[in-house]
């Protein structure tokens, strides 16, 4: 292979004059992490709500939650992203839409990407939360109600604390997925890690080094998240876990 390896290219000042190429990669990494964490917070909050809705005795709430999950699971992530970025500003009332479209483009991209990732992942989190609640022995709910707790109180004090503890492993894989799915947001121009990888290929003419570095960055994110969630799991694991005996 007559390719000239040059790992030192990362320490060279960039052609645009804004730091080194390594700085570009770190900027992309920073954006990826911020985007994924914002999406994850949204996903946890919304997903838990929708997951609980699916387990309630009320049929209309259950149907709404089921429809929510089906919509976000059956449309590809890229289509959803383009819908949030291109379609939503057009459908807002004219004054708000105009103001939004004239704001900082990076903010528009970030908001669209974070909302898209958050809602897409919330459907999957909802399924996991529902599975966790359904995995608990049925007597838990009945016991809570028999003790005089209202249904919301039963969820808050009896069901949800246990359910969240037993779904930590599937939530870990959803958390990892959100970091990987953030790479899709490079298609709307957001300069996160995958987009910075393409920029590096274009500007440094060292494609192998650029892509190997970006791939390793994703693997490092993977390892950090897995170790973090393993620590969380060790702290909150139930001794008598009904799922992972």
Partner 1 sequence: MAYSFDWSSIPGALPFLWQGMLVSLKITATAAAVGIVWGTCLAILRMSPVRALVWLAAGYVNLFRSVPLVMVLLWFFLIFPQPLARLLGLQPGTDMRMPSAMVGFALFESAYYAEIIRAGIDSVARGQMAAASALGMGYGQAMRLVILPQAFRNMVPLLLTQGIILFQDTSLVYVSALADFFGAAYKVGDRDGRLVELLLFAGAVYFVICFCASQLVRRYQKRTFIT
Positions touching partner 1 (CB under 8 A) are: 70-71, 73-80, 82-83, 86-87, 90-91, 93-94, 97, 176, 180-184, 186-187, 194, 197-198, 201, 207-208, 211, 214-215, 218-219, 222
Comparing CB distances to partner 1, the nearer of 165 and 180 is 180
In whole angstroms, the minimum distance from the beta carbon of 32 to partner 1 comes to 10
- Between 48 and 80, name the residue whose CB sits nearer to partner 1: 80
For residue 182, give the nearest of 128, 221, 135 by alpha carbon: 221
Least spacing, CB of residue 215 vs partner 1, in Å = 6
Shortest distance, position 129 Cβ to partner 1, whole Å: 19
**Which residue in 181, 150, 210, 164 sits closest to 76, CA to CA?**
181
Q: Which is nearer to partner 1, 164 or 218 (CB)?
A: 218
Q: How far apart are CB 62 and partner 1 at their closest, in Å?
A: 17
Nearer to partner 1, 154 or 181 (CB): 181
Enumerate long-range contacts of 8-13, CB under 8 Å, 24 or more apart: 9/204, 9/206, 9/209, 10/209, 10/213, 12/204
Q: How far is the CB of 157 from partner 1 (least distance, A)?
A: 34
Residue 152 Cβ vs partner 1, minimum distance, rounded to whole Å: 31
Our CB check for partner 1 shows the closer of 158 and 213 to be 213
Q: Which is nearer to partner 1, 76 or 242 (CB)?
A: 76
In angstroms, what is the C-alpha Rg of the chain? 22
């Amino acid at each position: 292979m007559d390719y000239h390896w040059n790992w030192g290219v990362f320490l060279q000042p960039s052609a645009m004059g804004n730091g080194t190429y390594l700085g570009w990669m770190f900027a992309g990494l920073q954006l990826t992490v911020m985007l994924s964490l914002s999406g994850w917070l949204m996903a946890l909050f919304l997903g838990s709500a929708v997951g609980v809705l699916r387990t309630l005795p009320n049929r209309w709430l259950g149907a709404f939650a089921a429809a929510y999950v089906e919509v976000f699971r059956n449309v590809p992530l890229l289509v959803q992203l383009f819908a949030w970025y291109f379609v939503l500003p057009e459908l807002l009332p004219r004054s708000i839409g105009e103001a939004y479209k004239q704001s900082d483009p990076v903010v528009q991209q970030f908001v669209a990407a974070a909302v898209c990732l958050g809602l897409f992942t919330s459907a999957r989190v909802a399924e996991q939360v529902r599975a966790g609640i359904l995995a608990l022995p049925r007597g838990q709910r009945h016991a809570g109600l028999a003790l005089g707790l209202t249904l919301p109180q039963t969820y808050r004090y009896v069901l949800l604390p246990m359910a969240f503890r037993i779904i930590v492993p599937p939530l870990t894989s959803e958390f990892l997925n959100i970091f990987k799915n953030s790479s899709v947001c490079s298609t709307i121009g957001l300069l996160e890690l995958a987009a910075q990888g393409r920029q590096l290929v274009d500007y440094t003419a060292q494609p192998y080094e650029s892509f190997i570095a970006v791939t390793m960055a994703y693997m490092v994110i993977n390892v950090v998240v897995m170790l973090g969630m393993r620590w969380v799991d060790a702290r909150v694991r139930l001794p008598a876990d009904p799922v992972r005996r």
